[in-house]
Amino acid sequence: MPSNAVAAERMAALADRLRQIALRSGRQDLADRVAEARAALDDAEVQIVVVGQFKQGKSTLVNTLVSAPVCPVDDVIATSVPTVVRWGEQTSAALITELAGESQPIRAEIDPRRLREHVTEMSSDTGIFGNLHAEVTLPSPLLAEGLVFMDTPGVGRAQARVSTNLTLLPQADAALVVTDATQELTDPELAFLRQSAALCSRVTCIVSKIDLHHQWRSIVQADVEHLSAADIDVPVMVTSALLHEYALMDGDPTLREESRIDALTGYLRDVVKVEVIHERQGAVAREIDAVCELIAMSMQAEIGVLDDPSSSPEIVRDLKQAEETAENLTRRSARWQQTLSDGIGDLISDIEFDLRDRLREVGREAEQLIAASDPGKSWEDIGAWLADSVTQAVSDNFVWAHERSVHLAEVVAQHFSLDGRAAIPTLSLDGTDQALRAIGDLEFVQAGKLSLGQKVMIGLRGSYSGILMFGLMTTLAGLALVNPISLAAGLIVGGFAYRQDALQRLDQRRNEAKTAVRKLIDEAIFQVGKESRDRMNRIRRVLRDHFVTTAEEVKRSLAESIRVAQQGAALPPTQRDERAAQAAAELQEIRTLQARAREFLLLPAPIPQEQHAS
């Protein structure tokens, strides 16, 4: 089985030869398509995003893997800006802002030693005008092999300026979801792992800080059971950056093995990277196969006419019918166009219903919390819980919408492939930050605390009526208006009035809190619903443009087939035989290239040598 490097050389040779054939055939569009696919072979970088809850050791893990303290680590201050770490001959750092609608990002060089000031919560760089991330280069042995790591802000904390990690997952080749060994996986962590597995094809759960808990093996076993019960199929690995650091200082190989960092490094280099590169080469092979088929289409028609000139009218007629079929694919009445239009409409309706259902459930739970507590005292905690719950609901909705979008693309491709050949385009997942940022803050609810004077005044107002009422009654018995009985009654009535007033003020705070929650939920439904509809419309345009472009390529190939068939029929017999032999040789070369590409698609990813030994 060839290695990735050998396979890349063979695939590059196939692509270069096919591009030459496409140019010779006058198909600049297909030559550009092959060149674009060929460029993927030169991309040896493997993007690995490191995600997880706050303070789980993500930055420390990245630093340990790259053997440099590049990502800031702090016991209190958390990362707030994603940081990309890749190989470079010299250590450097920069802040990169990607603006919507702009092809070129804004790059600002910074001092690598002052990276903490730009990527942590103490930073004033918010990226409010675009997507902000930092990029660091350094000469690290692991990075030199093509691995690129992205340290990300922790999930689970409601901060508007924190980039949505869910957006990064579909763009990454692999993901490391970090948790620590101090406790078992929590429900939010399981929910995020489920989202990660849905968005990224290679997710690994990393249990860090095994040095902090002597029962870490029991924790890991419980984590594996939780993942199995939640039907989340991801591998689990353990690490200890601290043990690895001590092992390097003491030169202790046993301690280094116990840290498990080398095992993770080998897994990323020998398994993840190999699979990613093999998958890219497979995508190039599929492009070569498709382009070969389009070029062979015209050659087959020409050879058929050259071998039997009398069949030219029939061949041309069949080609024109196929061309008309391809033309129909570009019309709005085409089956795939109707499937796409109906599917997007149904998808928008389903997504809006799912969003409303999720957010209304959050609202109901929030109202239950309010009814069971004094929102004046616990409003800050309720607000934090509500922000996290809304973020979780919106994220779940976006992930579900992305999965449904991919399924719709597959259905459209099936309907399109009834008349042609089509691949599924890559659908990006837009972030939820802008929609969440537009929701606004939760309205403030007064704490309801009263000063001593206010409490006394409320008690006096209640006690006055008690003293007066019972004082008048006791005057019939010859007592004074103010007497011990009337005073005691005043104290009792005053205390009752104070408690009633407190209950009324508590009910008022609860009503104000529920109203604030409903306003926030309504605003979330409005803002996120608008973003969801816009995203579905963008997906509609991406799918439409992709399949229309594919249909245009088929049309052009059929038109070229008609042209060469007509030219072949008009050739003199002597030239016809010579051209037939030449066309047959060209077709044989095309079929050979296509067969080699298809052979590669049947090969599994190369297995590392150490795995052979095991």
Give the Cα separation of 538 and 526 in Å (integer): 19
| Cα separation, 595 vs 598, whole angstroms | 5
* Ranges in the chain annotated CATH 3.40.50.300: 46-259
DSSP 270: I
For the stretch 273-318, pLDDT in tens is: 999 998 888 888 988 988 888 888 777 776 776 666 666 677 667 6
Sign of CA dihedral 179, 183, 186, 188: negative
Give residue-wise pLDDT tens across range 86-120: 999 999 999 888 766 666 778 888 888 888 887 77
Flag whether the pTM goes above 0.75.
Answer: yes
Angle in degrees, CA 328, 333, 338, rounded to 5: 120
Tokens of 365: 């739970």
Round to whole Å and give the CA distance between 114 and 136.
Answer: 12
Q: pLDDT, tens digit, for every residue of 11-49?
A: 889 999 999 988 888 888 888 888 988 888 888 889 999
**Whether 536 contacts 429, CB under 8 Å:** no
% of the chain at pLDDT higher than 70 = 74
Q: Does domain 46-259 have CATH number 3.90.180.10?
A: no
Would you state the pLDDT for residue 158?
44
Q: Please give the pLDDT value at position 425.
A: 72
Q: What is the per-residue pLDDT for 475?
A: 66
Q: Which residues pair with 277 in a beta bridge?
A: none
Q: What is the largest CA-CA distance in the chain?
A: 144
DSSP secondary-structure letter at 169? T
pLDDT at 74 over 70: yes
- Quick one: angle between helices 484-570 and 375-416, nearest 10? 20
Q: What is the pLDDT of residue 440?
A: 59
Q: Give how far the C-alpha of residue 479 lies from the chain's centroid of Cα atoms, to the nearest Å.
A: 82
Q: Is 234 left (phi over 0), alpha (psi -120 to 50) or beta?
A: beta
Of the two residues 320 and 133, the one the predictor is more confident about is 133
Cβ-contact 213, 182 below 8 angstroms: yes
Residue 444 confidence class, pLDDT cut points 50, 70, 90? low
User: 385-412: b or e for each residue (b if 16 or more CB lie within 10 Å)?
Assistant: bbbbbbbbbbbbbbbbbbebbbebbeeb
Q: How confident is the model at residue 457 (pLDDT cuts 50, 70, 90)?
A: low
Enter the DSSP assignment of 309: G
Q: What does the block give as tokens for 567?
A: 């030219």
Q: Which of 103-117, 163-177, 242-256, 307-321 is the least confident region?
A: 307-321
Q: CB neighbours (10 Å) of residue 607?
A: 13
Note whether 280 and 262 are within 8 A (CB): no
pLDDT tens figures, 343-372? 888 999 999 999 999 999 999 998 898 888
Per DSSP bridges, beta strands 83-87 and 147-151 are antiparallel
* Residue 613: per-residue pLDDT: 32
Element holding 325 (H helix, E strand): helix 312-329
- pLDDT given at position 441: 65
